[in-house]
Amino acid sequence: MHFSEFEGKIVLITGAAGGFGSALCSAFAENGAVVHGTDVRKADIKHFHTGDIGDAAFLKRMVDSIVQESGTIDILINNAGICPRVPFDRITLDEWQKVLHVNLTSIFVLSQLVLPRFIENKQGAIVNLASLAGQVGGIAVGAHYSASKAAIQSLTKTLARIGGPHGVRVNAAAPGIIDTAITREAAPGQIVEFERTIPLQRLGRAQEVVAPILFLASDAASYITGATLDINGGLRMN
């Protein structure tokens, strides 16, 4: 899939060292975008900002430095997230707050920093990583994770309402069970059962998450905003 409109666009991707994040960085770069990645872990990306997205001061410094260096930001992909698999009765208040802070509050903080620029520029797109777990509830993945992902869908709609009149689009992508190291480690005995239950009869591949995210950020999705795109092989149908 080639999107010529990404040529020269400034794209900021969080969680850039992770499974989807690194694939997203490569895909946007292959389409000619200037990719800025951020993560707590080091990643081999030309414009890389090491830091904790839970740290609001770091996010402000990073956005300011990107704007100073590149002039603006055109696309924001809020992809970073943590998914501690803890049974409901063993989630401590600290863990609850940490997951909400990293997964959800970071999107609020980054959006507050970036959205006014998008509105001023009368263009821009944000894509937030939600999850099937946020739509159906999470037992294996933890109540804090699924609650944070459900809230991301709501925040996406609010941001879409704010940005819409100014030509700024905000959408979410909700992957289901994707064939990543994390999925296989967390549920080694359940893969066959998953494959039997999913209408497409297999787990998703990382590239099958990346392509729809590029689509949502592209001009091909110019009349789509406030939406959550399900990427789940039919496991949950609206």
Ligand X SMILES: NC(=O)c1ccc[n+]([C@@H]2O[C@H](COP(=O)([O-])OP(=O)(O)OC[C@H]3O[C@@H](n4cnc5c(N)ncnc54)[C@H](O)[C@@H]3O)[C@@H](O)[C@H]2O)c1
Toward ligand X, which CB reaches closer, 102 or 147? Answer: 102
Residue 128 sits in the site that holds ligand X (CB under 6 A): no
Q: Given 145, 150, 209, 217, which residue is catalytic?
A: 145
Q: Using CB under 6 A, which residues numbered 17 to 36 contact ligand X? A: 17-21
Can you tell me which of 10, 83, 104, 170 binds ligand X, judged by CB under 6 A?
A: 83
- The H or E element spanning position 214 is helix 206-217
- Binding of ligand X by 220 (CB under 6 A): no
Whether 145 is catalytic is yes
97 closest CA partner among 62, 54, 57: 54
User: Among residues 183, 218, 225, 228, which is the contact residue for ligand X, using CB under 6 A?
Assistant: 183
Pairwise CA distance, residues 34 & 86, whole Å: 38
Q: What is the DSSP letter of 178?
A: B
In one-letter notation, the amino acid at residue 43 is: A
Cα dihedral 12/18/21/23 (nearest 10): 140
In angstroms, the CA 51 to CA 33 distance is 22
Q: Does the protein bind ligand X through residue 228 (CB under 6 A)?
A: no
**Binding footprint of ligand X on the chain (CB under 6 A):** 15, 17-21, 39-41, 52-54, 79-83, 102, 129, 131, 175, 178, 180, 182-183
